[in-house]
Amino acid sequence: MSENLDKLLEKLKPLLGDRLSVAQAVRQHHGEEMTHYDVCLPDAVAFPESTEEVSQIVTLCHAHDIPVIPYGAGTALEGHFLAVQGGITLDFSRMNRIIDIKPQDMDCTVEAGVTRMQLNQEIRHTGLFFPIDPGANATLGGMTSTRASGTNAVRYGTMRENVISLKAVMADGTIITTGSRAKKSAAGYDLTRLLVGSEGTLAIITEITVRLYGMPEAMSAAVCPFNSLEGTVDTVVDVIQMGIPIARIELIDDFLVDLINRFSGLDYPVEPTLFMEFHGSENAVQEQAEVVEEIAISHGGHGFKWATQPEDRTRLWQARHDGFLSVRAAFPGKDFWVTDVCVPISRLAECISETREDIKDADIIAPLVGHVGDGNFHLTIPYNKNDPQDVEMIEQINARLVERAIRMDGTSTGEHGIGIGKKKYMALEHGPALDFMKFIKKSLDPKNILNPGKIFDL
């Protein structure tokens, strides 16, 4: 590859000037995840400024058989942007323009490097907002590529439901637009949904048109501690089954509540707790909240602690989002294994309960947090990645977790994606369908240059 790489870099230099870097520090920054994966550097990092430039770069990479890896905000959790076969990382930080806001159609087109917080800041004046919130301030490109979701998905859906159309560069450099701005279409294959969640392996997404929503008239958040973890899950199941359009309903186990209290200087009761949010008209919010509080109390909830002021709500959700940081702060010097699964809501109680048993049997610490309205939950496990015994045990816990979720008609990952970490479970989850995913990959990227080594091996 080295000779090809040299030739490629020679051609990229005049195109990009100092927006192409082979500096160790830059490569390091783009080759290191915040979780347990080993550092894995690209050969160079390019900072394109337009779709046309991405197309030129990909065309050259294609001609020279060099991998291309898209890079957003670097918040991936399963090794998505690690350059496992070397190649050129495309850093989208210079493609961060809001291209078009259409308040009348409640949609917006952005470049792939726009982050979700930037988007919400820049559309604030329209009275609209973009609800998908995976916690981290990820880019829209990254969120699209991993089919991200997060706390609001229970009401607003995931990136699958909220991406309207895409501009993307295919493996040979061709620029395509998928879908249209119509709200629905029956015109051919749904390339938009095929690219959403494809983790940069089928195309490099450069522009995204997303749905926006009217800022609700009223928003209200509440925290409710429970006697037992079972009570929280039973509450969630009832709320969902009653069709209450709750905007957020998040489970945090007692262990994590304790860590969050310490990290954020808060004093929530150290019990399994639901963090919730209600959106709607004043009436609707009150109506929903009353019903949910009643359900919660019937399952051992101690009643709601309200946060109706914007600053209180922000503090509450910041605390929730700092879950990972609070675990990290509590275990200095440790490495962290982060994982998520998702099951049908009817199996959630059983899945969480078996998982907690497994954690208990293994005698490890594994704070549990979940977007439980979707049947999705996470573990963050402190461990020592240089201790082979530790690694083996965590890998087995993770394997059992994934197998349990799949056995319960669920999935190996609700929102983190496959990356390199969960490739080994793809066959178990998808069976013969996996072959057809590979056929599609081969047909769209015959040279396997687009983020190779992710989702599955060929």
10 or 190: CB nearest its own copies: 190
By the rule CB under 8 A, 31 interacts with its own copies: no
Tokens of 372: 């439980």
Residue 44 CB, nearest distance to its own copies (Å)? 28
| Contacts to its own copies from residues 119-158, by CB under 8 A | 146-149, 153, 157-158
Positions 86 through 125 that interact with its own copies (CB under 8 A): 102-107
Of 111, 69, 112, which is closest to residue 88 (Cα–Cα)? 69
Distances (CA, A) of 258 to 263, 271, 377: 9, 8, 18
Q: How many residues belong to the site for its own copies (CB under 8 A)?
A: 90
Site for its own copies in 177-206 (CB under 8 A): 177-178, 180-191, 193-194, 196-198, 202
Residues 215-244 that bind its own copies (CB under 8 A): 237, 240-243
Pairing of strands 68-71, 368-371: unpaired
CB of 217 to its own copies, least distance (A): 9
In angstroms, what is the minimal distance from the CB of 182 to its own copies?
4
* Residue 370 near its own copies by CB under 8 A: no
Which residues, in sequence order, are CB contacts of 338 under 8 Å at separation 6+? 35, 36, 77, 324, 378, 379, 380, 381, 416
State yes or no: residue 413 binds its own copies (CB under 8 A).
yes
Least distance (Å) between residue 166 CB and its own copies: 10
Q: Which stretch in 39-47, 65-73, 250-258, 425-433 sits in contact with its own copies by CB under 8 A?
A: 425-433
72 binds its own copies (CB under 8 A): no
Q: Which of 417, 421, 452, 453 binds its own copies (CB under 8 A)?
A: 417
Indicate the DSSP class of residue 38: P
Residue 382 CB, nearest approach to its own copies (Å): 24
Q: Which stretch binds its own copies (CB under 8 A): 30-38, 251-259, 278-286, 305-313?
A: 278-286
**What's the N-to-C CA distance of the chain in angstroms?**
19
The answer for residues whose C-beta is within 8 angstroms of residue 6's C-beta and 6 or more apart is none
Letter string b/e over residues 226-243, b meaning 16 or more CB atoms within 10 A of that residue's CB: beebebbbbbbbbbbeee
| Residues 6+ positions from 165 with CB-CB distance below 8 Å | 177, 178, 179, 180, 181, 192, 209
The answer to the question of residue 211 lying near its own copies (CB under 8 A) is: no
321 vs 422, beta carbon nearer its own copies = 422
Q: Where are the beta strands (DSSP E) in 124-266?
A: 128-129, 163-169, 175-178, 204-211, 213-214, 218-225, 248-252
- Which phi and psi angles does 61 have, rounded to 5°? -60, -40
389 lies in the site for its own copies, by CB under 8 A: no
Q: What angle do CA 371, 377, 378 make, to 5 degrees?
A: 120
- Between 399 and 437, whose beta carbon lies closer to its own copies? 437
345 binds its own copies (CB under 8 A): yes
Subset of 304-333 contacting its own copies (CB under 8 A): none
Residue 251 lies near its own copies (rule: CB under 8 A): no
